[in-house]
Amino acid sequence: MRGEPISTLDRIVKETIEAIERSQAQLYDIAENTRTEVNLVSSELTAVKNELNAIITEVDKLERAEKRARLRLAEVSRDFNRYTEQDIKTAYDTAYNLQIELIKLREKEKVLQYRRNHLEMSLRRLQTTVQRAEKLISQVGVVLTYLNGGLHDLSLKLGELQQTQQMALSIIRAQEEERKRVAREIHDGPAQSMANIVMRAEYCLKLLDKDPGKIREELLALQNIVMLSLQDVRKIIFDLRPMVLDDLGLAPALKRYFATYKEQYGLEIEFLFFGQERRLDSTVEAALFRIIQEAVNNIKKHAQVNSALVKMEMLPDKITISIRDMGKGFDLNSVQGDKDCNGYGLVGIRERVQLLNGEMKINTAPGKGTHISISIPLQDQA
Ligand SMILES: Nc1ncnc2c1ncn2[C@@H]1O[C@H](COP(=O)(O)OP(=O)(O)OP(=O)(O)O)[C@@H](O)[C@H]1O
Ligand SMILES: [Mg+2]
């Protein structure tokens, strides 16, 4: 379910961008072709205009010549004594030929004028098309920038939001798990012991009358139970929030924790610290402590070994942690793939690392041991 609306949104945006990019390419083609057409038409128009100018000059010239020819014909026709028949015929032919030529030339002028007007119209139309295409290209460009930038950011933001929501849910889930665990521990440990103590105290009261000699023995047993419960309570308090962590810092808290581990579970943890020890933000210290605690608990629970190695290096800008055992190892893929029946340990580690903007790698395989390496960026406090 999760992630689906975002991937759909991403897909729609991607397809829209592709469609718009295709139209943009087509618009480029249209603009380019139209520009070529504009060039062709305008050079044809120039040629037609030149031709027209030449014809107009020629028509003027011819009109003058024709007028002269008509005057000559009139003169020759009026005076029969001075001009021969041949003269009249020549004058008539000249005038006639010039008239014919003028008619032809005027016809040609008309055709050229028509052509010029037509070309001018086409040119205006083509120029409008180029302008429109260019405007569209720039508008499409704006839309594309918006889609590529703005909407992409939006889907990133949505993704982040979803991740944050998811993380908040797992934090709540982890807190609930932790509370359940504490409740179980109090129920199984101190609560049981106290019930036991109440019973034994009642028994002692009865013994006061019946068999005072046995009271000493009973009180010793009672003392023992109270001591054990005290230990339990201390352990629960330590697990909730190791006070030594607040008082002394990460490395000393870990040293103490590992010491109790050897006593309680027989697991020897070698702890190596490098770099300059310093106090970190208390939430960072607590998160790192929990991470290591989870990893070490897993070694105790699953690795089937009696020793492990924890290395920590504190640098000015980061802290690196390595937790390694040479035990049983496991198939990481099957643990990660199997979401329902798994514990919260590794998931919790991963989430804490993510919350601290860090990175984590798990190297493991059945029979090959397990190595968890973690790197967390720190604000430079040097
Ligand atoms: N150091 C290790 N050696 C061998 N197997 C491990 C180790 N760490 C983890 N595993 C395997 O990975 C699984 C998942 O570990 P995870 O800590 O997430 O859950 P869990 O320990 O089973 O339960 P929880 O931590 O909630 O008590 C374990 O069940 C175990 O099979
Ligand atoms: Mg675990």
CA distance 135 to 218: 99
As a whole number, mean pLDDT of residues 16-40 equals 90
Closest ligand to the CA of 325: 1
Mutate which of 292, 293, 300, 301 for ligand 1? The one with the most ligand atoms within 8 Å of its CB, which is 301
Instruction: Indicate if ligand 1 lies below 6 Å from the C-beta of 368.
Output: no
pLDDT classification of 382: cutoffs 50, 70, 90:
very low
* Average per-residue pLDDT for the chain: 88
Instruction: Indicate if ligand 1 lies below 6 Å from the C-beta of 345.
Output: yes
What's the CATH number of domain 241-377, 3.30.1330.30, 2.20.28.160, 3.30.565.10, 2.30.40.10?
A: 3.30.565.10
C-beta of residue 351 within 8 angstroms of C-beta of residue 167: yes
pLDDT classification of 241: cutoffs 50, 70, 90:
confident
What is the per-residue pLDDT across 340-351, written as a single tens digit (0 to 9) for each?
556 778 988 998
Instruction: Indicate if ligand 1 lies below 6 Å from the C-beta of 302.
Output: yes
Going by the DSSP 8-state scheme, the letter that residue 80 receives in this structure is T
Return the sign of the alpha-carbon dihedral for residues 37, 40, 43, 44: negative
Among 267, 273, 224, 268, which Cα is nearest to 253's?
273
Residue 116 tokens read as 């010029």
Q: Which span out of 4-8, 57-61, 182-186, 261-265 was modeled with the highest average pLDDT?
A: 57-61
As a whole number, mean pLDDT of residues 233-260 equals 87
Among 9, 22, 35, which Cα is nearest to 140's?
22
Among 33, 31, 51, which Cα is nearest to 43's?
51
pLDDT for the residue numbered 2: 46
299 C-alpha to ligand 2 centroid (Å): 8
pLDDT for the residue numbered 212: 84
- The domain locations on the chain are 4-166, 241-377
C-beta of residue 378 within 8 angstroms of C-beta of residue 319: yes
What is the per-residue pLDDT across 190-225, written as a single tens digit (0 to 9) for each?
888 888 899 989 999 898 888 888 888 888 988 998
pLDDT for the residue numbered 1: 43
C-beta of residue 95 within 8 angstroms of C-beta of residue 69: yes
Backbone angles phi, psi at 203, to 5 degrees: -60, -45
1 C-alpha to ligand 1 centroid (Å): 27
Of residues 173 and 103, which shows the higher confidence score? 103
pLDDT classification of 309: cutoffs 50, 70, 90:
very high
As a whole number, mean pLDDT of residues 5-9 equals 73
CATH 1.10.287.1700 is held by the domain 4-166: yes
CA 188 to chain CA centroid, Å, is 48
